[in-house]
Amino acid sequence: MSIYHCSIKIINRAGGRSAVASAAYRSGEKLHNDETGLTYDFTKKGGVIMNEIILPENAPEEFRNREFLWNEVQKIEKRNDAQFAREIEVALPVEMKREEQIECVRNYINENFVSKGMIADWALHDKGDGNPHAHIMLTVREVDSNKKWMAKQKSVFANARDEKGRAIYNPDFPSYNPKDKEATEKYRIPKLDENGNQKVRIREGKGTELLWEKVTIPANDWNDRKNAEVWRESWAKHCNRYLDKDNQIDHRSYERQGLDIMPSIHEGVTARKMEADGKIADRCQINRDIKELNFIRKQLKQLAKEITELITEKARAIYDRFKELRRSFGDSRSPETDGGNTGKSADGNRRTGDGKPESERRTGRIAEIRRGVDESIKETELTDREIEETDSRISKLKQLIKEKEVKRDDRLKKLKQRRRASDNIGGTTGSDRDTYEGSKCGEIQKLREQQDDIRTFISKLRDEERASEEKRDNKILERNNREAERERQSTENKRTVSERESDVKDERKGRKERSR
């Protein structure tokens, strides 16, 4: 599966940032900041593959000039905590060709942002390290039909109250229109004092004026938090159009996807630089531990699946044998007729071909069936015990995994505490590292021993299943032999009776001839 990444950030003045500087860095260009008089030169920055500005219909053409665009943004945003731009950063799957990556980003921008009135300034970065990505800077104001910046929010008369009695604006209800006061006057909400009376104010030269509730509403829904989920899902859909089934990406977490996989943590530039220098960064080590733990959990799930399949197969075989015994028992109790006397009931004490009474033969057959039923019940009880033992083992495995997750959370908590207490980000002492490595190796060794126990148990189940199958086959073979022997004896008895009847007829015929 390809890697999914889509983060949403705000570039504002409160953090001492500049829209012009941010645009210069992402585009790899040299831009001058009219507000501060500084020039930001990132022309020597490597890895910038391409950049472009995409405009909506109302935007003036001069906004294609990156320096002019972001200086204009900084002029209109005068507050100390003003928001300059919204940035969307997305990771581009390496399975896509360069042309597909560019086309995918353009389609994504046009569908989700430019079509809503935002101006998009984006750049594609790729240093050849397997991490191609795109930075998308979006304006936070719309441009009207006169090619002027629109306000981010506006003040309107409230037309409803919520469940707590607060004045609100509901777009689904009629609202007050100052240009049509008479027809819309009833849709205003009066501002009330502590006694529940409408507030008033006295204006010089205008007399007493009634006060009405007003609320501030955003000019658009760009800041709605629900958009984050929409934009993240849309990025996954756009990428998946270019990816095969095995490399599809998903914006949802492992938990939301229903996958029992522990997510890794963000490593960051500092940790990766430490690893490149031959050092061990805690964040990278934690991700390696998580990867190994996920691998072990996957093996445990596979072993549990194999155990379940073996138990199911064995239970099905026992059930089939039980049905076969019941069918045989039913056959033995079915009424029989005397073949030599059609239409008459067979005598329960008549002799069979082997000289035994029919009732005795039937009693022996019933006893044999009962013995088979008793054996089947014993095997069922044995299987029940094996199922209980397997459930107990699986429960222990789940408890073991839960304990490892708790220990992992404790390690993360201790890591954060050490990082706050130490100026050396990501560093650890030699003794701490030895303790950590020893603990990790011990945990992994216990998990591996548990895996060996499960494999031994599965092997034992398979051996018992083979022995049970051989025993069942032998019983079936013996039963077939007995039935064949009975058929042979029945055939011989019939032939003997026929021969005797023939001899009797010949003797009678001879007597008649002699008497004549």
The total of other beta-carbon atoms located within 10 Å of residue 193's CB is 10
> 417 and 510: one domain?
yes
Q: Is residue 444 part of a domain?
A: yes
The total of other beta-carbon atoms located within 10 Å of residue 22's CB is 20
Q: Is residue 171 part of a domain?
A: yes
pLDDT digits (tens, 9 = 90+) for 474-484: 766 776 677 77
> 460 and 332: one domain?
yes
Tokens 């006061």: give the residue: 181
> 317 and 428: one domain?
yes
Q: CA-to-CA distance for 395 and 313, rounded, in angstroms?
A: 21
Q: Is residue 232 part of a domain?
A: yes
Residue percentage of the chain with pLDDT more than 70: 67
DSSP letters spanning 215-264:
EEEESSSTT-THHHHHHHHHHHHHHHTSS-GGG---SS-HHHHT---PPP
Q: Is residue 314 part of a domain?
A: yes
Higher pLDDT: 493 or 12? It is 12
> 169 and 101: one domain?
no
Paired tokens of 467: 């022995």
> 43 and 112: one domain?
yes
Q: Is residue 272 part of a domain?
A: no
Q: Is residue 266 part of a domain?
A: no
> 160 and 296: one domain?
no
> 300 and 388: one domain?
yes
CATH of the domain at 11: 3.30.930.30
> 74 and 180: one domain?
no
pLDDT digits (tens, 9 = 90+) for 139-167: 999 998 888 999 888 888 888 888 888 88
DSSP state of 245: G
Domain that holds residue 173: 153-218
> 289 and 331: one domain?
yes
Q: Is residue 59 part of a domain?
A: yes
Rounded to the nearest 5 degrees, what angle is found at the Cα of 246, between the Cα atoms of 242 and 249?
60
What is the pLDDT confidence band of residue 207, given thresholds at 50, 70 and 90?
confident
pLDDT digits (tens, 9 = 90+) for 391-417: 676 667 667 767 776 777 777 677 667
> 169 and 314: one domain?
no
Q: Is residue 269 part of a domain?
A: no
Q: CA-to-CA distance for 232 and 84, rounded, in angstroms?
A: 21
Rounded to the nearest 5 degrees, what angle is found at the Cα of 409, between the Cα atoms of 89 and 429?
90
Using CA atoms, how far residue 470 sits from 8, 62, 82, 282, 375, in Å, is 64, 86, 81, 56, 15
> 312 and 420: one domain?
yes
Name the domain count of the chain.
3
pLDDT at 336: 47
pLDDT above 90: residue 324: no
> 124 and 202: one domain?
no
Contact status, residue 238 vs residue 249, Cβ threshold 8 Å:
no
pLDDT digits (tens, 9 = 90+) for 429-463: 444 444 544 555 555 565 566 666 666 666 666 66
Q: How many CA atoms lie within 13 A of 79 on its CB side?
A: 7
User: Is residue 487 exposed (0-12), middle (13-18) or buried (19+ Cβ within 10 Å)?
Assistant: exposed
Q: Give the rounded distance of the alpha carbon of 281 from its chain centre.
A: 29
